[in-house]
Amino acid sequence: MDSALTVSGGLDSSAGKAWFSNDRFGMFIHFGLYALAARHEWVQHREEIAPETYAKYFENFDPDLYDPREWARRAREAGMKYVVLTAKHHEGFCLWDTKFTDYKATNTPYGKDLLKPYVEAFRAEGLKVGFYYSLIDWHHPQFPIDGIHPLRNHPDALEMNKTRDVKKYAEYMHNQVRELLTGFGEISVIWFDFSYPKREYKGMPGKGRADWQSEELIGLVRELQPNIIVGDRLDLPTDGNFPKDLATPEQYTPRVAPTINGKPVRWEVCHTFSGSWGYHRDENTWKDAGQLINILIDTVALGGNLLMNVGPTARGTFDKRAVTALETYGEWLHVNGRSIYGAGPSEYQAPAGTRFTQKGNRLYLHLQTWPFRHVHIPGLGRKVKYAQFLHDASEIHWLDPDAEVDSNIGVAVGDGMLTLELPVLKPDVVTPVVELILKG
């Protein structure tokens, strides 16, 4: 039973997918040739790098320190329960030994498949395994040039498109998806990225479901992996024939939980540590500990999952800044995980500066802004049986909601307010959590 979604009162999810809303927190990994450029995974697009020039990254790709067991250990220690790796990103480079192109890891100086060891390592650490697969492909010779392609401003772009056939490209893609979903055991998530049917540029149309043959593609995916959760960027029709498995807001915290046709939908927000998905050496906008933890809390409080990204270096390692960020999660979740795993939105209204999550009769108050001595929660005064900090299980007192006016803080008689008494000094926890155990 998908407890979190039940709390939010909605969606009937099939049993094979129920793990998702329980697990709440996953690792996204963007790894490819762009790690060598080290200035964003869209570098080929941004700098309009022609394939012949981009080839230098392929010729120098050698992540000699790649050890997926270490990635997996770090993910588990960070409290992450599943993982999604870019099997192929927009640049078209494939991390596995695919039969359908030479543009793959086995043909680089590294010379080995990266995907099998990844799958094995993460499974061994108990994480569910997923793939990201880019619909876009800036390397494939049959992929028509469009407004986001690196060759979009080439004087002969329209001419070059005469020999490119998107049907042939779609066939390639379907073949690769079949390969990915048959050669690696059970795959829990597939993340297709992305469609842009309306983005016309200099007479070159964008791409969407007709190009990807999305209806056939999703049919193939469902046939090969009946329990897989499929990301929603295939531009599938919203006519009800293709129920949405997973909404995927990116790089922002939704104000309200996403819905589809007014109904709740399973969703996952994805974020970066620093603004770039691929390794970016000189990017400086790294989120601080409070932001990292509060993104997770905000998400679960709204009923969503968080997929947090790491962009490994071209040596195949996690950069120190990423390791620190992962440790921030690990440390916090080690003591506060109860408010996240298996938890979801609450029926109660959280006061300003706080967020609630709930699991059965346990209500979790996340104090994102540390108050002075008291926090007042309307409507809960007579409903709480016991209260404690989650990180150290130390008791928290509250004022008697039925007492006469408390001259210190002016609680009115009988207003049902829950007024918790907190220490003046904030405990040494990024965001402290109070666990409220409700009566019967």
Q: Which is nearer to ligand GLC, 125 or 250 (CB)?
A: 250
Give the C-alpha separation, 64 to 314, whole Å. Answer: 9
Select the residue interacting with ligand GLC from 184, 194, 273, 389 (CB under 6 A).
194
Residue 388 amino acid letter: Q
Q: Does 270 bind ligand GLC (CB under 6 A)?
A: yes
Closest approach of Cβ 149 to ligand GLC, in Å?
A: 13
Closest approach of Cβ 41 to ligand GLC, in Å?
A: 5
Closest approach of Cβ 175 to ligand GLC, in Å?
A: 22
- C-alpha distances (whole Å) from 140 to each of 112, 262, 284 are 21, 39, 33
H/E element, 190? strand 189-193
Select the residue interacting with ligand GLC from 277, 279, 356, 398 (CB under 6 A).
277
Closest approach of Cβ 148 to ligand GLC, in Å?
A: 9
Task: Choose among 425, 334, 361, 360: nearest CA to 78.
Answer: 334
Q: Which is nearer to ligand GLC, 30 or 383 (CB)?
A: 30
Angle between helices 115-124 and 68-77 (to 10 degrees): 40
Q: Which is nearer to ligand GLC, 113 or 250 (CB)?
A: 250
Look at the block and give the residue holding tokens 């020999």.
163
And the tokens for 183? 């050669």
Q: Which is nearer to ligand GLC, 266 or 359 (CB)?
A: 266
H/E element, 116? helix 115-124
Q: What is the DSSP string of 44-71?
A: HHHTT--HHHHHHHHHT---TT--HHHH
Binding string, 148-187, against ligand GLC, x = CB under 6 A? ----------------------------------------
**SS3 (DSSP) at 339:** helix
Q: Does 193 bind ligand GLC (CB under 6 A)?
A: yes
**SS3 (DSSP) at 159:** helix
Give the C-alpha separation, 325 to 430, whole Å. Answer: 12
Q: Does 41 bind ligand GLC (CB under 6 A)?
A: yes
Q: Which is nearer to ligand GLC, 318 or 332 (CB)?
A: 318
Select the residue interacting with ligand GLC from 62, 186, 250, 327 (CB under 6 A).
250
Q: Does 411 bind ligand GLC (CB under 6 A)?
A: no
Q: Which is nearer to ligand GLC, 90 or 355 (CB)?
A: 90
* Total interface residues for ligand GLC by CB under 6 A: 8
Q: Which is nearer to ligand GLC, 34 or 332 (CB)?
A: 34
Closest approach of Cβ 90 to ligand GLC, in Å?
A: 6
Closest approach of Cβ 417 to ligand GLC, in Å?
A: 42
Q: Does 279 bind ligand GLC (CB under 6 A)?
A: no
Instruction: Give the distance, in angstroms, between the CA of residue 148 and the centroid of all CA atoms in the same chain.
Output: 24
Q: Does 133 bind ligand GLC (CB under 6 A)?
A: no
Q: Does 283 bind ligand GLC (CB under 6 A)?
A: no
Which residues, 6 or more positions from 417, have their beta carbon under 8 angstroms from its beta carbon?
Answer: 376, 377, 378, 379, 380, 381, 401, 411
Task: Choose among 360, 130, 355, 345: nearest CA to 245.
Answer: 130
Whether the CB-CB separation of 152 and 201 falls below 8 Å is answered with yes
Closest approach of Cβ 384 to ligand GLC, in Å?
A: 40
Q: Does 93 bind ligand GLC (CB under 6 A)?
A: no
CB atoms within 10 A of CB 112: 12
Closest approach of Cβ 118 to ligand GLC, in Å?
A: 17
Closest approach of Cβ 193 to ligand GLC, in Å?
A: 5
CB atoms within 10 A of CB 255: 7
- Residues near ligand GLC, by CB under 6 A: 30, 41-42, 193-194, 250, 270, 277
